[in-house]
A and B are shown apart, each in its own frame.
Chain A
Amino acid sequence: MTNAAEFRTCPITGKKVFKSTQNLMWINAVTAVVFILIGGIMALLVALTRWPAVHLLSAEWFYRALTAHGLNMLIFWIVFFEIAGLYFGSSVLLNVRLAVPKLGWLAYLLMLVGAVMVDWMVFTGKADVMFTSYVPLMAHPLYYLGIILFAVGALIGCGIFFATWAIARAEKTFEGSVPLVTFGLAAAAIIAVFTLSAGAIIYIPTFLWSLGLIKNLDAGMYRLIFWGLGHASQQINVTAMVSIWYLLGVLTVGAKPVNEKICRTAFVLYILFINLASEHHLLTDPTLSSAHKIANTSYFMYLAVLASMIHALAIPMALEVAQRKKGYTKGLFEWLTKAPWGQPGFPALIFSLFIFGFIGGITGVAYGTEQLAIKSHNTWAMTGHFHGTVVGGTTLAFMGLTYYVIPLIFRRELIGKKLATIQPYIFGIGIVLMSLGMGAAGTLGSPRRHWDVTFAVSIIPFSFDPTVILFTTVAAIGAMLAVTGGAIYVLVSVLSVFFGRKMAVNEAKLL
């Protein structure tokens, strides 16, 4: 066990990096990569089954792989990475030791045991309930217990973030306001507390129901509270992703927001309004009144959209101002064409920003409107939307940051820098093709979560417009590219973390 007060000073940023923080970041980030590997393999299997030309898995294994894909990607990969991010945003950026590192290890163990239990139940066929596990579908009790343990572990991680911030304030390790990145991560952590609490509120009775201790669970009530976890967990991702965008802006071109107060206000708008997006899952349910749905999704929801618009313009603006200061002032876009496209962080940032905004954002606002949700809700277009936000947006931003965290925090030189440089391009182009293919096929009626869109063995035959198959093929090709990009990411990060050259304490080299 390391001494909690042991630290080194980063030769690039001048920040203190405490050994205990570094170790906890390392274990959480490495574990995140293991789960993206599992989720990525499942993505490949799902994509090759949705593609009618291949149609790889049986129906049983398709839904099993889809369940595992959703959980490993949406929850395990992202939350492990976010916990590493919270420790970075508090301890490293605020120049202070991490509060109660031993509790950090307990949080990690709870999350790991929970995630392994969930995967074990899914892969042994005891939890074919999809990511949503809608009642009355019932999984093995250990599945629900696994999710509860994971959520408790993540909640402890959020608590450590706030406790570390409190120590930093008490010990005056920073001056003025906290850095914008830490502020954004705090917003993410606050949303996480609401989200994980909703998870506990619904999964504890569901766990008891699976044990036979509760006789009935109302399906409408389950859906209402579940989406306080299910969609809201993606709002944690959005908020963490935006924080990482600001960080990547600093790391790649030295960008600083033109008006930080507005950016902070946008994070506050996220805290207050972003979870209203969860309601779009209930737009076709009778649980809530039409007046409630319209008021929330056609009016208040736009305050969160406003926040995203502020960030989406503040970040490219910061990049442009920083680049123009360096002399790239010709025309409208020299700042962009002369940007460091040869560093992995910059294309990862730009693709993440643009895919999130242009694909995930535009479709999300449209499909989140009550009347339009009626048309799109259970189609593949919705899957195209959230692959634009969570994969093209969040995952790509996290991937870009990894290439800086490895040398900066883990003090290992990257292995395969050229591969790392092309990785965001391959992954980004793949996600664009996949999301657009899903969106187009879904708009023509192709259902989401469906094993066979040709309905070849259905009792009632049905055939879509042939262009659905064309767009499904486009989505499948995109998925293959994205999986290739994901595999390169796993390869480069694992090789670098374990076999990369150890950097000297004072070696000031980023990439």
Chain B
Amino acid sequence: MEEKHDSFPAPGTFVIGLIFFTLFVLFYFLNWKWLSMIWIVG
């Protein structure tokens, strides 16, 4: 049986998720930036 929770039961995990997402966006952006520097179009 799955349990019912009145409020979000894992705020710490939520923060870890946000840190992960921030790092992911940063790494993804940097890689596109580096690609644009190596392979100059136009």
B27 touches A366 (CB 8 A): yes
Closest chain-B Cβ to A276's Cβ sits at a distance in Å of 18
* 0/1 interface trace, chain A 272-283, chain B, CB 8 Å (1 if under): 000000000000
Q: Is B40 an interface residue (CB 8 A)?
A: no
Closest chain-B Cβ to A325's Cβ sits at a distance in Å of 9
A321 touches B10 (CB 8 A): yes
Q: Is B42 an interface residue (CB 8 A)?
A: no
Complex formed: what's the CA distance from A367 to B35 in Å? 11
Complex formed: what's the CA distance from A260 to B9 in Å? 15
Complex formed: what's the CA distance from A358 to B27 in Å? 10
Give the chain A neighbours of B13 by CB distance below 8 A. 313, 316-317, 320
A258 touches B9 (CB 8 A): yes
Band of interface residues on B: 20 to 34
Prevailing SS type, chain B contact patch: helix
Q: Is A363 an interface residue (CB 8 A)?
A: yes
What are 30 residue pairs bridging A and B, where the CB atoms are less than 8 Å apart in the complex? A258-B5, A259-B2, A313-B13, A316-B10, A316-B13, A317-B9, A317-B10, A320-B9, A321-B9, A321-B10, A324-B10, A332-B11, A332-B12, A332-B15, A336-B12, A357-B20, A358-B20, A362-B20, A362-B23, A362-B28, A365-B24, A366-B28, A371-B35, A372-B31, A372-B32, A374-B35, A374-B39, A375-B31, A375-B34, A375-B39
Residue of A nearest to B25 (CB): A362
B3 touches A258 (CB 8 A): yes
Q: Is A333 an interface residue (CB 8 A)?
A: yes
Given A358-B23, A366-B31, A335 and B2 contact (CB-CB distance below 8 Å): no
Complex formed: what's the CA distance from A153 to B19 in Å? 43
Q: Is A378 an interface residue (CB 8 A)?
A: no
CB-contact partner of A316 in B3, B5, B16, B39, under 8 A: B16
Closest chain-B Cβ to A264's Cβ sits at a distance in Å of 12
Closest chain-B Cβ to A183's Cβ sits at a distance in Å of 15
Closest chain-A Cβ to B17's Cβ sits at a distance in Å of 6
Give the chain B neighbours of A133 by CB distance below 8 A. none
Complex formed: what's the CA distance from A73 to B17 in Å? 31
Q: Is A443 an interface residue (CB 8 A)?
A: yes
Residue of B nearest to A312 (CB): B20
Give the chain B neighbours of A443 by CB distance below 8 A. 34
Give the chain B neighbours of A336 by CB distance below 8 A. 12
Closest chain-B Cβ to A461's Cβ sits at a distance in Å of 22
Complex formed: what's the CA distance from A465 to B17 in Å? 35
* Chain A interface residues (CB < 8 Å from chain B): 258-261, 312-313, 316-317, 320-321, 324, 332-333, 335-336, 357-358, 362-363, 365-367, 371-372, 374-376, 443
Residue of A nearest to B3 (CB): A258
Residue of B nearest to A367 (CB): B31
Give the chain B neighbours of A362 by CB distance below 8 A. 20, 23-24, 27-28
Give the chain B neighbours of A332 by CB distance below 8 A. 11-12, 15
CB-contact partner of B17 in A313, A363, A366, A372, under 8 A: A313
Complex formed: what's the CA distance from A24 to B25 in Å? 45
Closest chain-A Cβ to B32's Cβ sits at a distance in Å of 7
Complex formed: what's the CA distance from A277 to B24 in Å? 18
Give the chain B neighbours of A320 by CB distance below 8 A. 9-10, 12-13
Given A358-B20, A358-B23, A366-B31, A260 and B2 contact (CB-CB distance below 8 Å): yes
CB-contact partner of B2 in A258, A372, A376, under 8 A: A258
Complex formed: what's the CA distance from A317 to B3 in Å? 13
Complex formed: what's the CA distance from A321 to B8 in Å? 10
Closest chain-B Cβ to A321's Cβ sits at a distance in Å of 5
CB-contact partner of A372 in B9, B10, B35, under 8 A: B35
Complex formed: what's the CA distance from A376 to B39 in Å? 13
A333 touches B12 (CB 8 A): yes
Give the chain B neighbours of A371 by CB distance below 8 A. 32, 35
Complex formed: what's the CA distance from A332 to B20 in Å? 16
Give the chain B neighbours of A316 by CB distance below 8 A. 10, 12-13, 16
